[in-house]
Amino acid sequence: MLVFAIETSCDETSICLMKNNKIIKHITHSQEIHSIHGGVVPELASRSHLEKLQEMTIKLFKEEDVNPYKIDVFAATCGPGLIGSLLVGSTFAKSLAISYNKPFFPVNHLEGHILSTSFNNNIKYPNLNLLLTGGHTQIYLMKNENNIRLLGETIDDAVGEAFDKVAKLLELKYPGGSEIEKKASKGNENSYNLPKPLINKNNYNFSFSGLKTHINLLVKKNNLNENFIQDLSASFQKTVSQIIITKLDKGLDKLHKKGISIKSLSVVGGVSNNNYIRKKLENLFERKNIEIYFPLKEMMSDNAAMIAWVCIKKFDSSKKDIFFKPDSRLQIKNI
Ligand code: ZN
């Protein structure tokens, strides 16, 4: 099956041509316009998708000598995400589908992240899926790839959002995740004892906003010199990873008591790029003899390859999805 997929849920314009389980071509354009605003501006994101999408698609078809009539399905992210951005990508994909008289397949962005590790790993079930992005922090239980249940999520900021907000407080560049990691590598992670909200609660939920507020107070009391930034970045990164590790560890025990013995963990989303958090997770799960999977590098942050992959796995020719409306709050439903 030859699939052309589009991802435009936030500030990455991404397209991918995938044949079965092979990426033929995958291009992602990260919008830089938002960096001067310190965060994504929805209206600017939609306009930028509109400008880039056509140019990128024409270029890809030309370079790969693609006959669009040979494409079997046109797929696009239909939520969750910024509604204007979702409308640009999905309408563009639907227009191509109508032009070439082919089916359109709507993809849930979260399902794209969740299934991303199955592209390069043979998943052992039941699988725990840890989704860490700028918009979501969630834990899913996957009994198989069609049985995906949300166990818990953040009740306020997403983990990637917390990284960005702390980076902004420390006057680092946007997006903040990689900047904090760089500064943290030179700092002392035991410099500051930061709060770990919800860590002792008997559920799978996270909270990161209190951590950010505490850091804001520390920033106001101290000089923003290099040592302070490095030490605070290291302490913040350590605290975030402790929160994640503790919740997962307790979650595994809870599931075990219910008779569910987890065989593997998938860590997906942009924050899975963070080497410090990866190492801590690897240590915990290796000790417990549970396999741990990460997506391919190009399938970690928002990307169209994971959208194409969901289409390859789940396209159903009996459904007519051309009228599927994008939904900014689309959820994962059990199928
Ligand atoms: Zn995402």
The rounded Å distance from CA 214 to ligand 1 centre is 27
The rounded Å distance from CA 231 to ligand 1 centre is 29
The rounded Å distance from CA 330 to ligand 1 centre is 13
Beta strands in the chain (DSSP E): 2-7, 12-19, 22-30, 73-79, 104-108, 127-132, 137-144, 147-153, 264-268, 291-293
Cα dist from 40 to 23, 134, 140, 183, 297, whole Å: 28, 11, 27, 23, 22
> Model pTM?
0.95
Per-residue confidence (pLDDT) for residue 334, from 0 to 100: 56
Per-residue confidence (pLDDT) for residue 335, from 0 to 100: 45
Residues of the chain with confidence (pLDDT) below 50: 335
The rounded Å distance from CA 208 to ligand 1 centre is 18
Distance CA 136, CA 130 (A): 10
- Which residues, by Cβ under 5 Å, contact ligand 1, an ion? 133, 302
Distance CA 77, CA 6 (A): 7
